[in-house]
Amino acid sequence: MIGKVLAAASIAAIVSMPAYAATDYWVAKNASTKKCEVVDKKPDGKKLTDVGSKMYDTKENADKAMKMLNACK
Q: Are 61 and 25 in contact (CB under 8 A)?
A: yes
Q: Is the dihedral of CA 51, 59, 42, 13 positive or negative?
A: positive
Q: Answer whether residue 18 is part of any domain.
A: no
Q: What is d(CA 57, CA 14) in angstroms, rounded to the nearest whole number?
A: 20
In the chain, how many domains are there? 1
Q: What is d(CA 45, CA 57) in angstroms, rounded to the nearest whole number?
A: 21
Q: Answer whether residue 56 is part of any domain.
A: yes
Q: Answer whether residue 55 is part of any domain.
A: yes
Judge whether residue 62 has pLDDT over 50. Answer: yes
Q: Answer whether residue 67 is part of any domain.
A: yes
Q: What is d(CA 10, CA 15) in angstroms, rounded to the nearest whole number?
A: 9
Q: Answer whether residue 13 is part of any domain.
A: no
State the residue range of the domain holding 50.
23-73
Q: What pTM, to 2 d.p., does this model score? A: 0.66
Q: What is d(CA 61, CA 64) in angstroms, rounded to the nearest whole number?
A: 5
Q: Answer whether residue 49 is part of any domain.
A: yes
Give tens-digit pLDDT for 1-55: 766 654 555 555 555 555 555 689 999 999 999 999 999 999 999 999 999 878 9
